[in-house]
């Protein structure tokens, strides 16, 4: 429990839930409640929770709150902010400056000091914010980066301003010395770059002059071809499996991904019965937020019909997600994808395919076949949702839905999954 420290008598700071300000999502903001010379004010922490999950006696979030993956970690972050604010009060008292400051002056001192965030603390705040916003994919990406940087630094935190070109070079050398891939490093570096950009442009806690990526280039290495030919796709279609066997289900997911314009595994996992409207699939891609409106072809319909039997509109189509909490659902998908990739190797062996089948192959194969058929790059980009291809984005808005349907039909023509979708 946070108590009043008698040393300062007229000054203190505690964590509090501001029950006077209910947000639109029915939560209340958690504040640092600052008191000084008989006056009080609040400092935002950036976190908010429903009132029933705040422990008023101990001034912390209750363990039962499911809005964060790790409540203990969020409580530690909040307590660290309170301790740092209290440390500022203590130092001002020691220098005999405290009694001469107004509460506004004291608040400004604390805010200015808190703006000098460390990399660990700032990234932890972003992770918690993503979790609160249900942006679980972003939270996981930032958590992965934080884990690696902590290993590199031997768990020793550092100011954001020290994240310079020299730091990036040392991190690169350390990472590659472990025998890990250049492309894996690029994933982490892009996330570190995003953290820097947010700290500069949105949160304004880092100066533009501190931006290290003006001098550092994120390097990548061409990856091995992931696409397979039309003939090999046909071999997968022709496979015979017992209904409801794991390989039957694996093959169906692979063909469903291919038939829905290379839909990623995670998007298939989140598809619900209610996403199918008037012979079309309507959904937003998890990674980019791009909206899809895809016509169900004759090859896709029988696969879907197998999974739609006796299901309510709110149910997931595929048997991948088992739990209700979003963070747990992402874990279900991650585990299911690992099993899916292992089973795709058995599919490849059964079909006599030498190439390594993974969850990406159906998507890459769709794009490769489209390219081989001279379908415009703009249409392929639209189909796959590659919104960051700057050379094609100017044309994407002009593509009509029926044009996309025609291209999709053209790609899938001749792949008759109807002959063996369920047996």
Domain of 286: which CATH number?
Answer: 1.10.443.10
In whole angstroms, give the CA distance from residue 119 to residue 56: 30
Q: 358 Cβ partners below 8 Å, 6+ apart?
A: 226, 341, 344
In this prediction, residue 8 carries a pLDDT of: 57
Q: Does residue 1 lie in a domain region?
A: no
- What the block records as the tokens of 407 is 């291209």
Nearest of 382, 381, 370, 362 to residue 410 by alpha carbon = 370
Residues 264 and 336 in one domain: yes
**Better-predicted residue by pLDDT, 305 or 397:** 305
Q: Does residue 287 lie in a domain region?
A: yes
**Better-predicted residue by pLDDT, 109 or 130:** 130
Task: Work out the average pLDDT over 59-64.
Answer: 92
Residues 311 and 412 in one domain: yes
Contact between residue 379 and residue 370 where contact means Cβ atoms under 8 Å apart? yes
Residues 22 and 103 in one domain: yes
Residues 90 and 163 in one domain: no
Residues 177 and 290 in one domain: no
Q: Does residue 131 lie in a domain region?
A: yes
Residues 244 and 263 in one domain: yes
In this prediction, residue 2 carries a pLDDT of: 53
With 70 as the cut, is the pLDDT of residue 250 above it?
A: yes
First-residue to last-residue Cα distance in the chain: 63
Q: Is this structure's pTM higher than 0.85?
A: no
With 90 as the cut, is the pLDDT of residue 94 above it?
A: no
Q: Does residue 361 lie in a domain region?
A: yes
Q: Does residue 168 lie in a domain region?
A: yes
Q: Does residue 225 lie in a domain region?
A: no
In this prediction, residue 6 carries a pLDDT of: 47
Residues 248 and 391 in one domain: yes
Place 59 in a pLDDT band, splitting at 50, 70 and 90: very high
In this prediction, residue 4 carries a pLDDT of: 46
Q: Does residue 224 lie in a domain region?
A: no
Tens of pLDDT, residue by residue over 290-308, are: 888 999 998 899 999 999 9
Q: Does residue 222 lie in a domain region?
A: no
With 50 as the cut, is the pLDDT of residue 329 above it?
A: yes
Cβ-based neighbour number of residue 118 at 10 Å: 16
Q: How many domains does the chain have?
A: 3
Place 399 in a pLDDT band, splitting at 50, 70 and 90: very low
User: Exposed/middle/buried for 40, CB within 10 Å: 0-12, 13-18, 19+?
Assistant: exposed
Q: State which of 70, 90, 114 marks the end of a domain.
A: 114
Q: State which of 97, 114, 131 marks the end of a domain.
A: 114
Residues 80 and 191 in one domain: no
Residues of the domain holding 235: 230-419
- What the block records as the tokens of 176 is 């590659």
Residues 309 and 193 in one domain: no
Q: State which of 181, 214, 247 marks the end of a domain.
A: 214
Chain position carrying tokens 């395919």: 353
In this prediction, residue 257 carries a pLDDT of: 94
Residues 245 and 198 in one domain: no
In this prediction, residue 398 carries a pLDDT of: 40
Residues 412 and 263 in one domain: yes
Residues 302 and 279 in one domain: yes
Tens of pLDDT, residue by residue over 7-36, are: 456 889 999 999 998 877 788 989 999 999
Task: Work out the average pLDDT over 109-113.
Answer: 70
In this prediction, residue 251 carries a pLDDT of: 95
Highest mean pLDDT among 166-170, 205-209, 399-403: 166-170
């Amino acid at each position: 429990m946070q108590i009043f420290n008698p040393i300062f008598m007229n000054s203190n700071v505690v964590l509090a839930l501001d029950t006077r300000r209910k947000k639109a999502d029915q939560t209340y903001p958690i504040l640092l409640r600052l008191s000084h010379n008989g006056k009080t004010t609040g400092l935002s922490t950036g976190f908010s929770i429903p009132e029933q999950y705040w422990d008023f006696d101990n001034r912390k979030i209750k363990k039962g709150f499911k809005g964060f993956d790790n409540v203990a970690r969020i409580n530690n972050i909040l307590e660290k902010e309170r301790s740092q604010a209290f440390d500022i009060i203590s130092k001002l008292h020691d220098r005999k400056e405290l009694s001469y400051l107004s509460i506004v002056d004291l608040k400004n001192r604390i805010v200015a000091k808190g703006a000098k965030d460390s990399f660990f603390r700032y990234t932890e705040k972003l992770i918690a914010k993503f979790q609160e916003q249900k942006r679980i994919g972003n939270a996981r990406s930032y958590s992965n980066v934080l884990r690696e940087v902590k290993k590199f630094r031997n768990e020793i935190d550092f100011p954001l301003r020290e994240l310079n070109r020299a730091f990036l070079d040392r991190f690169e050398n350390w990472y590659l010395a472990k025998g890990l891939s250049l492309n894996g490093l690029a994933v982490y570096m892009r996330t570190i770059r995003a953290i820097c950009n947010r700290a500069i442009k949105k949160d304004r806690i880092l100066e533009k002059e501190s931006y290290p990526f003006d001098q550092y280039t994120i390097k990548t290495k061409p990856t091995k071809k992931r696409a397979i030919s039309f003939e090999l796709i046909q071999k997968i279609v022709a496979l015979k499996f017992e209904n409801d066997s794991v390989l039957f289900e694996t093959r169906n997911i692979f063909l469903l991904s291919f038939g829905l314009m290379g839909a990623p595994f995670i998007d298939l996992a989140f598809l619900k019965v209610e996403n199918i409207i008037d012979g079309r699939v309507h959904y937003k891609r998890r990674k980019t937020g791009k909206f899809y409106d895809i016509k169900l072809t004759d090859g896709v319909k029988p696969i879907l019909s197998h999974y739609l039997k006796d299901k309510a509109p709110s149910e997931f189509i595929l048997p991948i997600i088992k739990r209700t909490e979003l963070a747990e659902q992402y874990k279900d998908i991650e585990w299911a994808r690992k099993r899916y990739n292992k089973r795709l190797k058995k599919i490849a062996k059964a079909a006599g395919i030498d190439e390594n089948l993974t969850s990406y192959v159906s998507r890459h194969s769709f794009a490769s076949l489209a390219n081989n058929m001279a379908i415009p790059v703009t249409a392929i980009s639209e189909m796959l949702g590659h919104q960051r291809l700057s050379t094609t984005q100017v044309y994407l808005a002009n593509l009509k839905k029926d044009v996309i349907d025609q291209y999709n039909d053209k790609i899938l023509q001749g792949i008759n999954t109807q002959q063996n979708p369920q047996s």
